[in-house]
A = this chain, B = another copy of it.
C-alpha cells in the first residue's frame, strides 16, 4: 500500500467566504482553485449549491498520496437555505452506492474508492456559537461522514475569545446531540507525552484555523502568513492557530482511522440499510410470484397479508446472515434468487429503483480532475 500510495477524500463544507479554498491550498501546499471564478451579487441570487471535485497527487518523503477534495460552493449563500445540505448528503450517498455496486460486481480487484473519508465543517468565527444552519447541516450528515469542525478565520479572534468560543461550540455540539468524529482514545500504557498530545488534540475541537498562500517575512524568516498593519499572522505558528495540529491529524496521525471509521461505520450503515430495503422488496416479490403462479394470471396482484410482519422481519434477518461478505457471486445470487450469470445486470436494476434516488442531484457533479 505504501508503494501504491494512499487515497484520501476530504470534503470541505460551510458558508461561502470562510476560507475553505484557502485553507485547503495551505494544508496541501497546492493551488487547487486557480481557475475559480467568483460570482457577483446578482449571479449569487440564483445560484444553487453545487458539488465540485478536484484531485491532486502529493508526494511527501517518498510516500504518494492521491488526494481528492470535494467542495460545496454556494452553501449557505442563499436568502433561503432550507435543505441546502441535501446535495451534499446525496453526494456522499452516491459514492457509497457506487462502491456497493462495484463491490457486488465480478471484478473487485480495482475498485475506485470515492467514499468521503472526512468532512471539514467550517464554523464562522462571528457566530455566537453555532448557527441554526450549522446545527442542521451537521445533524443531517453526522451518520454519513466523519465531521471535523473547524473555527474558520481565527485571526479575527483574540486567544481568550477563541478559548471561550471553542468551549461554547463543544457545549452546543453536545446539547444538540451532534456526533462529530471522535478521536480514538489512546492506550493506557502510552507514555505521558503521547497522552498529553492526545488530550490537547481533543481539547482543540473545533480547530481554530487561518489559511494563507502568501509568503511574508516575519522576524527574518519567510513564512506563510497574513500581513496586517498591526503585525504578521503566521499560519504555521501554534501560538497563532491550530493549523499544524489539524494538518498533522489529517495527513499523519489519523488518516487511517478516518478511513477505517468510514469503512466500518458509515459505509456499513449505508450497506445494511440498502440490503434491508432490497430484501424487503425480494420478499414482497416472492409473495406476489407465488400468488401469480397459483391464480394463473400475469397481472401483478397486490400481496395479501399471508405473512405477518414478524415473519417478514425474520426472513430479512436470515437474508442478512446469508449476505455476509466472502463470495460475491453467491451473495448476489442468494439475494436475488437468480443464477450467478446475469446477477450483475439484475443488481444494477435493483439499485436503480432502490438506492438510486439521487440521480437528479448527480448532474450537479462537475469533475475537474487537475
Interface, chain A (partner B; CB < 8 A): 15-19, 38-42, 44-45, 77-82, 124, 126-136, 153, 155-156, 158-159, 172, 175-176, 226-234, 239-240
CA distance A39 to B175 in the complex (A): 14
Residue on B with the closest CB to A155?
Answer: B156
Residue on B with the closest CB to A83?
Answer: B79
| Shortest Cβ distance from residue A149 to the other chain B in the assembled complex, whole angstroms | 13
CA distance A229 to B163 in the complex (A): 14
Q: Of A19, A132, A231, which is in contact with the most chain B CB atoms at under 10 Å from its CB? A: A132
Contact B17 A127 (CB under 8 A): yes
| Shortest Cβ distance from residue A211 to the other chain B in the assembled complex, whole angstroms | 12
In the A-B complex, list the 8 residue pairs whose CB atoms are closest, starting with the nearest. Answer: A231-B231, A17-B126, A230-B231, A41-B130, A80-B80, A156-B156, A41-B172, A45-B132
Q: Which of B19, B38, B156, B226 contacts A158 (CB 8 A)?
A: B226
CA distance A38 to B130 in the complex (A): 12
CA distance A130 to B17 in the complex (A): 11
Contact A126 B176 (CB under 8 A): no
Contact B233 A230 (CB under 8 A): yes
| Shortest Cβ distance from residue A254 to the other chain B in the assembled complex, whole angstroms | 27
Residue on B with the closest CB to A45?
Answer: B132
| Shortest Cβ distance from residue A142 to the other chain B in the assembled complex, whole angstroms | 15
| Shortest Cβ distance from residue A43 to the other chain B in the assembled complex, whole angstroms | 10
Residues of chain B within 8 A (CB-CB) of A42 are 135, 175-176
CA distance A233 to B176 in the complex (A): 36
Contact A228 B230 (CB under 8 A): yes
Residues of chain B within 8 A (CB-CB) of A45 are 132, 135
Q: Which of B18, B78, B158, B233 contacts A126 (CB 8 A)?
A: B18
Task: Given A40-B175, A156-B156, A175-B42, decide whether A133 and B79 contact each other with a Cβ distance below 8 A.
Answer: yes
Residue on B with the closest CB to A169?
Answer: B41
Residues of chain B within 8 A (CB-CB) of A172 are 40-41
CA distance A126 to B45 in the complex (A): 17
CA distance A175 to B42 in the complex (A): 9
Contact B230 A232 (CB under 8 A): yes
